[in-house]
Amino acid sequence: DKHPKWVEILDAKTKDKLCFLDKVEPNATIGEIKSMFHKSHPQWYPARQSIRLDPKGKSLKDEDVLQHLPVGTTATFYFRDLGAQISWVTVFLTEYTGPLVIYLMFYFRVPFIYASKYDFTTSKHWVVHLACMCHSFHYVKRLLETLFVHRFSHGTMPLRNIFKNCTYYWGFAAWMAYYINHPLYTPPIYGEQQIRLALIIFLFCQIGNFSIHIALRNLRPPGSKTRKIPYPTKNPFTWIFLLVSCPNYTYELGSWLGFTLMTQCLPVAFFTLVGFVQMTVWAKGKHRSYLKEFRDYPPLRSPILPFIL
Amino acid sequence: MASSEEDGTVEEKENNNKKRTKSALVTAWLTFYNIAMTAGWLVLAITMMRFYIQRGTHKGLYRSIARTLKFFQTFALVEVGHCAIGIVKTSVIVNGVQVCSRIFMVWFVTNSIRQIQNEESVILFLVVWTVMEISRYSYYTFSLLHHLPYFIKWARYNFFIVLYPLGVAGELLTIYAALPFVRRSGMYSMRLPNKYNVSFDYYYCLIIVMLSYIPLFPQLYLHMLRQRRRVLHGEVIVEKDE
């Protein structure tokens, strides 16, 4: 059917007619229709539009083509406002820069945190310096990955997420940093052995996590939205793909376990636990969607912990 | 604030005409549970009244009902289980927060800080809780038995209007009265240096708990008001959606 179509857009809740477009090309994409809708309603930029065939149905994708959808000569779509949106990159950069800066403020014992006689002093324990280097390295790595490695499949997320996420990251960073850099900090019980083991675990998992991010990036050529099953590559750190669907989360957990061991600090343990719970939820979701999408998905894999979870 | 009002009841489930094939066993258990809880809080109410009538004072009243109160309030944890396995249509988190705040009050404030047990504010929230729980549990009981007298429904959805703020006042005044004793004794607190590299000050924790009433109480109260309009007057409230 090569004839131009009419497109009407109704509000999903009130069913009011919001927009009527005539002479829309049958090969137009939803993305293009969103741009046209944006012209008549400038407050709703495309990123905050959810367009669907059914008021309670799933959102259509920007790449969907009009003539491939089950519509007649007049296509009726339902619109839902997703609310103010913010780009993933912006959120990640903000939520990761906070911990980096905040931890350093505690490390350098900026005034008004500890008793004034400690202002701008440094800890006498070398593990505290090591911990600062590890923590800072971790967040610098995350920032660089956000800028140069990650390929985001969604452009934006709801604006309120940035407040929620920053409270989480910044709050925990301050809580951990307060105790690690405290003048009354107690170094690990087993001393050098404990710290050395912790550092090895931490570095191993940092490299592992980075390897997974690179492997995932290489799965998808730039601009393409095809989804593929990740497999182990020549890099030994990716061989964990044999057993786990989301090894980036596995390595992340490992890094924080290492940091907990290194600092022997209960707030760090708590942060690791909370992060683990959240990552497990994400890993299970990702694993489920892999299983749904790919018939031949390797059965040996678990979401986050080999054989366990 | 700590009163356990829920956003969905067993009766509302049936009002929606959804044929829930709830097994007879589940219904029997829930009926038994709600009857038992109604009875428990009735016993508490009667014991409290008898104490006051016989002694003429509220001093020592808390001590006399402490064990019964702890038992029945702690047993309410079972309701969180009900939500978790889905036999009651309420969010686990909503119910969990409410039960936890009650348990916090009972075990971590009145039970452990003996000096405030004779405060008038304790009697205030005890009376509020007793009236609310009796009306709530009897509401559930009668709904399950498909024989709900209107006055019970009326009580459940109207008492809270006055009792909620009174209960909050009782709880806050009690925590406030407890503060100097917590400070002096340093209870539940941990200072640096220690091998876990953490510190905890129960005094400031209680202050944060008191401050948390400010955002939480209005939300709960407005939620109950919306429920009331819906159940008593059949108004359809369009909730702000995500």
Mean per-residue pLDDT, B167-195: 94
Average pLDDT along chain B: 87
Distance (Å, whole) CA A297 – CA A274 = 29
Taking the CA of residue A280 and the nearest CA in chain B, the distance in Å comes to 19
Which of B193, B195, B197 comes nearest A180 by C-beta? B197
CA atoms of A80 and A102, how far apart (whole Å): 38
Task: For residue range B201-213, list pLDDT tens digits in order.
Answer: 999 999 999 999 9
Q: At what angle do helices A247-263 and A266-293 cross, to 10 degrees?
A: 170
Contact (CB<8Å) A189/B195: yes
- Has residue A90 got a pLDDT over 80? yes
In chain B, residues with a C-beta closer than 8 Å to the C-beta of A265 are 196-198
Contact by Cβ (8 Å): B128, B46: no
Nearest CB to B198: which of A13, A179, A189? A179
Residue environment code for A289-298, b if the CB has 16+ CB neighbours within 10 A, otherwise e: ebeeeeeeee
Q: Label residue A213 by pLDDT band (50, 70, 90).
A: very high
Chain B: give the shortest CA distance to residue A267, in Å. 7
**A52 C-beta neighbours (distance < 10 Å), count:** 16
Pick the residue from chain A with its C-alpha nearest to B238.
A13
Tokens of A200: 């090895």
Say if residue B11's pLDDT is above 60. no
Query: How many angstroms separate the CA atoms of B84 and B43, rounded?
Result: 29
pLDDT, mean of residues A81-87? 90
A170: pLDDT strictly greater than 90: yes
Residue A8: C-alpha distances to residues A18, A19, A27, A235 (Å): 8, 6, 16, 52
Q: Is residue A199 within 8 Å of A130, Cβ to Cβ?
A: yes
What is the biggest distance separating any 2 CA atoms in chain B, rounded to whole angstroms? Answer: 62
Q: pLDDT digits over A96-149, tens only? A: 999 999 999 999 999 999 999 999 999 999 999 999 999 999 999 999 999 999
Q: What would the two tokens of residue B101 be?
A: 């705040």
pLDDT of residue B178: 96
Residue A186 in contact with partner chain B when CB distance is under 8 A: yes
Span B59-77, pLDDT tens digits: 999 999 999 999 999 999 9
Is the pLDDT assigned to residue A202 strictly greater than 70? yes
Q: Which of B233, B23, B4 is nearest to B139 (CA)?
A: B4
What is the token pair recorded at A50? 């959810």
- Contact by Cβ (8 Å): A209, A255: yes
ipTM of the complex: 0.78
User: Sorting pLDDT into bands at 50, 70 and 90, what band is B93?
Assistant: confident
Q: In this complex, do A264 and B197 lie within 8 Å of one another by their Cβ atoms? A: yes
Residue B183 to residue A54: CA distance in whole angstroms? 59
Do residues B164 and B221 make contact, with C-beta atoms less than 8 angstroms apart? Answer: yes
Name the residue of chain B whose CA is nearest to A83's CA: B242
- Within 8 A of B197 by CB-CB distance, chain A residues are 179-180, 182, 185-186, 263-267
